[in-house]
A = this chain, B = another copy of it.
Amino acid sequence: MCSMSTAPPTRGGTFGDFMINIADVARHAGVSTATVSRALSGGHHVSPATRLRVEASAAQLGYVVSSNASSLASGRMKNIGVVVPFLNHWFFASVVEGAQQALQRHGYDLTLYNLTGGLEARRSVFEHFLLRQRVDAVIAVSLELSENEVARLHALDKPLVGVGGPLAGVRTLTVDDLAVARLATEHLIALGHTRIAHIGGDKAFDLDFNLPTNRRFGYEAALAAAGIVARRDDFRPADFTTAGGYQAAKQLLGRPHERPTAIFAASDEMAIGSILAARDLGLVVPGDVSVIGVDDHELADFFGLSTVAQFPQQQGEKAVEVLMQELRPHPESRTGLNINMPFELIVRGSTARPMV
């Protein structure tokens, strides 16, 4: 039933090592291992009858191809690496989840690399883990890669796609942050607001790429286009957390007569913080102040928060599709370097016309 090799010194695995291998299946089906291999992978160049027989044998024996042996021989790993800065955050977790599901559909595994562990960990990922020939391609999520790191990845000569970018010389999926911010701001303007504050980040706060800056620019562009002069003190930098948004909003709304009638927060978490701050100040949302965010965070619905949704899960899926495209022997219609991802205004109850 199992391997009946000429009993060489047994190695590998633990003692009760009864793993079915391709030779067992071949024997069982009465064909060569070559045929088994072909039958089980695509079935080309194998007669239907044989293929069926092999498949039956494999199923009966509960045989599953050893990915190591297969990879070693073929050079295909059926595995892709996903690198994220943190996992413990709604956005990243969603991207990974989306990628994971898409990969699973394609029969690929997902190996996760998490950079939370600090610089040392980061280095080891790029100088060691990713070079182990374990992945066919890499998805880098919201990562600012140093030149050195990009070089290393390119040296792998493996497809690489970024989510959130752009990343110099790397195919990247991005939402147009500038447009997102403009859309949110324009929504407020369309409602009649003219005194619109912004909670976000600027250069100094640029976490990944220029996301905060871009959103700020979008906000400013929308105001400018509407002929509204942005006041300097209607912008507050914050750290993209609920608490940060809360504090910033407290400041913005704390000045009774100087108060903006609307706040555009660069993330839903900050927007939620703003809503809570408004309440604590005795203000009504959207009566006294409208609030809009970005993300469509899971709590957005609960808080009735208007927002510009981006779809992280879908971004993960799309990244996988792009990679699958490139992994195919003859990449057909390669997409351009930068792929724009959709976003969408979702109006809930937190925005309304300003009171006159």
Contacts and interface: CB of A to CB of B under 8 A. Distances in A.
Interface of A: 11-14, 16-17, 19, 62, 64-69, 71-75, 77, 79, 86-90, 93-94, 96-97, 100-101, 104-105, 107, 109-114, 116-117, 121, 124-125, 128-129, 131-134, 157, 241-243, 246, 273, 279, 298-299, 301-302, 313
Contacts of A65: 132
B101 A93 contact: no
A352 to B, nearest CB: 19
A112 B132 contact: no
A104 B132 contact: no
A107 B273 CA distance: 40
Contacts of A129: 104, 109
Given A90-B88, A302-B246, A114 B100 contact: yes
A56 B346 CA distance: 58
A77 B13 CA distance: 10
A240 B242 CA distance: 20
B72 A68 contact: yes
A109 to B, nearest CB: 5
Given A12-B73, A68-B68, A97-B86, A117 B104 contact: yes
A87 B241 CA distance: 20
Contacts of A11: 74-75
- Interface centre among A87, A94, A117, A129, by most chain B C-beta atoms within 10 angstroms, is A87
Given A68-B68, A121-B104, A133-B66, A110 B109 contact: no
Contact of A68 (B16, B100, B134): B134
B111 A67 contact: no
Contacts of A114: 97, 100-101, 104
Contacts of A86: 97
Nearest to A13: B75
Contacts of A116: 97, 100-101
A148 to B, nearest CB: 13
A16 B117 CA distance: 33
A16 B71 contact: no
A97 B112 CA distance: 10
A345 to B, nearest CB: 22
A302 B73 contact: no
B104 A93 contact: no
Nearest to A272: B299
Given A64-B128, A100-B114, A242-B302, 13 more contacts: A17-B157, A64-B133, A66-B72, A66-B132, A79-B111, A87-B97, A100-B113, A101-B121, A104-B114, A104-B125, A110-B112, A242-B299, A246-B302
A265 to B, nearest CB: 15
A135 B62 CA distance: 18
Contacts of A66: 72, 132-133
10 nearest A-B pairs in the assembled complex, by CB-CB distance? A12-B75, A64-B131, A67-B132, A100-B114, A68-B72, A87-B97, A13-B75, A68-B71, A66-B133, A93-B93
A134 to B, nearest CB: 5
